[in-house]
Amino acid sequence: MNILVQKYGGTSVGSIERIMNVAKRIIEYKNQGYAMVVTVSAMAGETDRLINLAKQITPQPDGRELDMMVSTGEQVSIALLAIALHSMGYKAISMNAYQAGIYTDSVYTKAKIGKINTERIIKELENDNIVIVAGFQGIDDNYNITTLGRGGSDTTAVALAAALKAVKCEIYTDVDGVYTADPRIVKEAKKLDEITYDEMLELASLGAKVLHSRSVEFAKKYDVVLEVKNSFNNNSGTIIVKESKKMEKFVVSGITCKKDEAKVNIINLPDRPGIAARIFSELSNNNINVNMIAQSSLDDNSGINNISFTVSREDLPKVVKIMENLKKELGAKDVITSNNIAIVSVVGIGMKTNPGVAARMFSILGNEKINIEMISTSEIKISVVIKEEFANKAVQLLHKEFELDKV
């Protein structure tokens, strides 16, 4: 069996008309002889609508109940797509995570897929069915429904492609592929024909929501052939590749920004071994992902330092509680948080061989009087924390500075 996995995002299934178009596209591939496994998201806006219902009751709804509710969005769209395919004379069956055998851990609202039991899917494919699997959801060992984090349907698709040894995984969305920056922020952004897994991983985890970052991790780990395409046209998309001579020619491949982060400053901490370990183990035990970390002290002999880090804004209330408890134990003076920040990053494997990217990036921001609050680097990216109000401007200026409009 030549299995092809396709995923259609929220806008792509946002109306009955769109669902009918998606069904036609699936049939084209089915008629080419592929065994089709399709993942879909909830119809555009539905997940937000559902979350908002719960938040009208309490700002921090229980995770288990939230997942129970929010997973219904995908169940509506899979059934509608199956009904659309039936109406066109094709055999199709929709499956939720339980039926499709998608097992996760029990970390509600950001669960991780552990294994997929593909038996039932294979059986349905052998019966000539087009199999439509609910994106974004899983079940834990106690059959509780979990979800994979916002944008998680991409990860469902890639995990299915890996488990089924599919020939390819195609992610259909509302833009032509992966761009040099979010086309909603930079009008001149250019679609990339290809990008490496490593660059895509940085871009996705630093705000380019065109792919869920876990989906790129899966693709890289299991060698899934991954392509991002537009469901609204037949333009060629972006292929995610292992290595690319083409990309190495460019110093920078993409600019991205993340606006759903918050910064936490712990002020006047005793400068002692074990303090950072205590803070970050406590956060990790509570399933809080920390993105950037910086530590600074006035001078080596002061015995005092400050630690700052960023977390997802969603996690901030939980983090504040944890830090309030830790403050006394650690003997810190204060914990200050700010929501009003963004992380802006430049990413490119070309940076490995081209020095001076950081200097160029910081000069551009400095010239615009944009203050840099934190910096973090890897071999292929430089990220800065700045005030959120300057984020779009910074992305636009950096896009121009690194001549990404000429890619």
Contacting positions for ligand ASP (CB under 6 A): 9-10, 41-42, 47, 73, 135-136, 150-153
- The region of 3-11, 50-58, 82-90, 313-321 touching Mg ion under the rule CB under 5 A is 3-11
Taking CB atoms, the residue at the shortest distance from ligand ADP is 9
Of 177, 217, 183, residue with least CA distance to 201: 217
Nearer to ligand ADP (CB atom), residue 173 or residue 312: 173
Coil vs helix vs strand at 146: strand
Token couple for 123: 């059986």
In order of 91, 93, 293, 385, the CA distances from 84 in angstroms are 10, 11, 49, 46
Please give the Cα distance from 163 to 13 (Å, whole number). 25
Applying CB under 5 A, among 101, 135, 151, 237 the residue interacting with Mg ion is 151
In the list Mg ion, ligand ASP, ligand ADP, none, the entry touching 178 (Cβ below 5 to 8 angstroms by class) is ligand ADP
- Tokens 């089709």 belong to which residue? 36
Instruction: Work out how close the CB of 47 gets to ligand ASP at its nearest, in angstroms, rounded to a whole number.
Output: 3
Report the residue number, 135 or 348, with the smaller CB distance to Mg ion.
135
CA atoms of 3 and 165, how far apart (whole Å)? 7
Closer residue to Mg ion, CB minimum distance, 151 or 254: 151
Candidates 94, 104, 173, 345: give the one binding ligand ADP (CB under 6 A): 173
Q: Among ligand ADP, ligand ASP, Mg ion, none, what does residue 115 contact (CB within 5–8 Å per kind)?
A: none
Q: Closest distance between ligand ADP and the C-beta of residue 177, in Å?
A: 7
Contact 268, 306 (CB under 8 A): yes
The residue (of 81 and 385) whose beta carbon lies closer to ligand ASP is 81
Q: How far is the CB of 6 from ligand ADP (least distance, A)?
A: 12
- The reply to whether 184 sits near ligand ADP by the rule CB under 6 A is yes
* Residue 63 binds which of ligand ADP, ligand ASP, Mg ion, none (CB < 5-8 A, kind-dependent): none
**Which residues have a Cβ under 8 Å from the Cβ of 293 and sit 6 or more positions away?**
280, 307, 308, 309, 376
CA dist 296 and 290 (Å) reads: 17
Residues 6+ apart with CB under 8 A from 300: none
One character per residue 113-152, x = contact with ligand ADP (rule: CB under 6 A): --------------------------------------x-
CB of 58 to Mg ion, least distance (A): 27
Taking a C-beta distance cutoff of 8 angstroms, is the pair 158, 178 a contact? no
| Of 136 and 390, CB closest to ligand ASP | 136
C-beta closer to Mg ion: residue 151 or 177? 151
Which CB, 137 or 308, lies closer to ligand ADP? 137
DSSP-based three-state secondary structure for 108? coil
**Nearer to ligand ADP by C-beta: 71 or 305?**
71
Residue 293, burial from CB neighbour count under 10 angstroms (0-12, 13-18, 19+):
middle
Beta-strand runs (E) in 193-289: 194-196, 226-230, 238-241, 254-258, 261-270
Chain residues binding ligand ADP by CB under 6 A are 9-12, 41, 151, 173-175, 178-179, 181-184, 203, 208-210, 254
